[in-house]
Amino acid sequence: MTFRTPALALGLLAAATAASGTAQDQSTQGVQDELVMTLNDGADDPDALTFDWPMLSIGTGQYEAGPTGVTVIRFGRKVHGAVDVRGGGPGTVNAPYLDLGYVQPELDAVVLAGGSWYGLEAVTAVNTAMKDDGYRGGHWNNVGLAVGSIIYDFGGRRLNEIYPDKRLAQAAYRAARPGVFPVGPYGAGRSAMTGGLFGCNARSGQGAAFRQIGEVKIAVFTVVNALGVVTDRDGKVVACHAGSGWPEDLAAHELLNASPASLRPDWDGERAAEPERKNTTISLVVTNRSMSSAELKRLAVQVHTSMARGIQPFATELDGDVLYAVSTGEVESGPGDGLVTAEIGAVASELMWDAILSSVPEQPSAPSPRQARDTTPDLQSFVGTYRFSPLASLEVTAEGGRLFGQATGERDIFAIRKGEPVELQPSGPSQFVIPGRYPFSVRFEGDKIVVNPGRWQQVGMRP
């Protein structure tokens, strides 16, 4: 069941914090409890992956006011799992348990979430939901087991610190359904980004792919929030807000060969946003082929290693890359089945590259500034201080027939930096832009300001 968030709800955090003042600055839990959630958004999109595998059910939940979210993959019964950790800053719950290699199947669900370490609450929330719903209990052989990992989706990509919490995770778990996985900026990938190492700062999301060979089914799922760039099979960078002096048909090896110069924000002589220094790609490969713990571990290592082709560089000290491998055990292995673990791993590795590419959404853009200003409305109607969260406020002033913005909170408002008033150039009756490397526009709607209207918009309120 899908609950779509009204546009007004996008300003909930700003409105609540503006009304409650200092007390709200100390805690956002009250705001979290009031956030409108969206469940299984994107499942009806034509790009969503659809597949026939009743053993797997997928549920996604999002707080559009973040935006941030969670993705839950449930299994129809307890299954075997393994994990491979590559990144230098992973965030996981219960993952080390899978490395113990017990012979009995124990895993119920894999949870992927935004919100950095705060989002790990989503993993334990799914576990308690199984207990609260009576699906699992307290007997030693019926205790629920969910494992999961998080991505970092705070920092410069949004102006608040909303995270996917227990309420959202349990709703996503209960909304899970088989056969469909939304790709792009949904679920845990709602505010994912890639290419921060080079200042690309491209929007990303979650991806998936599926293949069946005879009776053997293989599915892969990933949330791509990498420090490196997503690379296609021709070696080209798939998404990047490139600098003005960069090659038109940018190849990943051109960025890598130019390092360390290409790692500097001013490499092309144009000031870029400071790169995000906390990133992660979290992934899952599932097969119905029966596998031992040792085989699953090799599968995890093989597929995880292959991902360095589609993300460059991969598994840096600033990434928290984790991959889970799961066998549902529906098809028994044997000498005559024609698929050994390495061959399943080869298929899954190509599928994972497909999944990485499917995670990349259409990139945001901004309109061009308008030359004539004679139809611009009364600028004084836009003047005021707009609050996005306890961390971020924007002061708008008018002078000499021009509009200016200045960040006055703890955080920059993207292209509007603290202590640096910048002109907002008109592009429409109530829309203004700041030209530059990264798309930036604002739209005024009464006492509301919408920054970068669209899929990743941030909403501020004027008292």
From the list 17, 194, 231, 280, the catalytic residue is 280
Active site residue 287: no
Label residue 225 exposed, middle or buried (CB < 10 Å: 0-12, 13-18, 19+): buried
Exposure string of 424-463, with b = 16+ CB inside 10 Å and e = fewer, is bbbbeebbbbbebbbbbbbbbeeebbbbbbebbbbbbbbe
Q: Which CB contacts under 8 angstroms, 24+ apart, belong to 20-29?
A: 24/390, 25/390, 28/160, 28/161, 28/162, 28/389, 28/390
Cα distance between residue 36 and residue 2, in whole Å: 12
Nearest to 292 by CA among 81, 449, 90: 81
Nearest to 298 by CA among 82, 132, 147: 82
| 227: Cβ contacts below 8 Å, ≥ 6 apart | 194, 195, 196, 197, 275, 276, 277, 279, 313, 316, 318, 319
Quickly list DSSP for 334-350: -TTSS--HHHHHHHHHH
301 residue type, one letter: V
Cα distance between residue 445 and residue 461, in whole Å: 10
Residues annotated as catalytic (active site), given as ranges: 280
